[in-house]
Every structure is written in structure tokens, then in C-alpha cells.
Amino acid sequence: MFAAYNISKDTNDLPDAFHVVLRKVEPLNNTLARVHDQKSCQEMKSDVESCKQKAENLQTLFRKVVPPSNKPKLDHYREVVRDLGGVGENRVETLMAGLLDDVQSLVPKCTIQRNGKAAELVGNDVMEELAAVFEELPAMPPSLSEDPSGNSVNNWNTGTQNVNTGEGTQNNNTGADMQYISHTQTFSR
């Protein structure tokens, strides 16, 4: 699923979460492929569909953000996350953590019959590898903040605080005198 993406110098301007998730997604992808093909897992279809949706969102992020473009990658990343439904659930590290959580609950339930005995599809070594990835994700700083504006204005003292965080002119008169606003003024004798 993610084999086409390589961590390269072209992604240096992306948050570290992109690099970590891309390195760690392969074992998760292999595990999902093994689980997806087994008939014994049909009763868990809704759980698998949840995994699929998160994986598709993660793939969309990589497909749209990683390739070179004229726009700064972080701005592009923010737009794609917004299009997917917002920062809360669609940061790369959040999607990966959700996938890992789903897979860790799904995999132990999936067994196949071999020689009349139930056999697990995924061994303990793979589960331990996934657990190690799961523990690494919370230590990463968020790749995007929850606040899309990036503006913060605080006034801890009394008095007026005149702030223009948008574009255009701001004309403030906090005194008792008249304020005359004009683009051109002509004075003559």
C-alpha cells in the first residue's frame, strides 16, 4: 500500500511524524493483508472496514502531501487534513495510532484451522513489533496543532488591546478626540 513512498530529502520540511509513520507502516500493512484474506474474520468486517478507512486516509495524506509541489508541504498537509475532516482524527500519527489500536484488537481474534487445530495468523513477534510502534507514537510532538489559525491574543492587564490579525487597515481611537479617516486629504488656503 505504501511501498511507493520513500523517505527522502524531499520530505525534510514535513513533521517528524511523517517519517516515523512511514517507517512503521510496513509491518502494519503486512498484518492487515494477512487478516483481510481469511474467511474466519468475516464476522469482524466492521472492524476491518474501520481499519481500511484509516489506512485510506493515511494513504491519501502521503499521496497528496509527499510528492513535490509549489506549495509548502506543511500548508498542503494542513489543507489535506482539513479536507479529510479535521485535525483531531486525521493527523498522520493519530491515524497510525488508531490503526495500531484496531489491529491489536483484531489480530488475536483471527485464527485459522490447520490440521484440526486453531492457529493464529500473526505470531507474538509481530504483535510485539506492533506494540513497540504503538508506544513510540505518543512520544512524538503533534504534527499539526488543533488551532488552525495560529493566532493567539491575550491581555492580562486593564486597558484597551487593539489587534488586527486579518488583512487591511485598523484605525483605533481610544481617546476623547475626533478621528478623521480618509485615504486622501487636501488642505488649502
Rounded to two decimals, the pTM is 0.56
Q: What is the pLDDT of residue 4?
A: 45
Nearest by Cα to 1 from 64, 48, 52: 52
- As a whole number of angstroms, the distance between CA 77 and CA 71 comes to 10
Q: What is the pLDDT of residue 1?
A: 47
- As a whole number of angstroms, the distance between CA 146 and CA 88 comes to 7
Contact yes or no for 29/2 (Cβ under 8 A): yes
Residue 162 one-letter amino acid: N
- As a whole number of angstroms, the distance between CA 107 and CA 127 comes to 8
Contact yes or no for 107/127 (Cβ under 8 A): yes
C-alpha cell at 44: 469482524
Nearest by Cα to 143 from 93, 180, 105: 93
Q: What is the pLDDT of residue 69?
A: 78
pLDDT tens, position by position, for the chain (189 residues)? 454 455 554 567 777 777 777 777 776 677 666 655 555 556 677 777 888 888 899 889 888 888 777 888 888 888 888 888 887 888 888 888 888 888 777 766 666 556 666 556 666 777 777 777 777 777 778 888 775 555 666 777 777 777 776 677 787 877 788 887 777 778 787
Radius of gyration of the chain (CA): 26
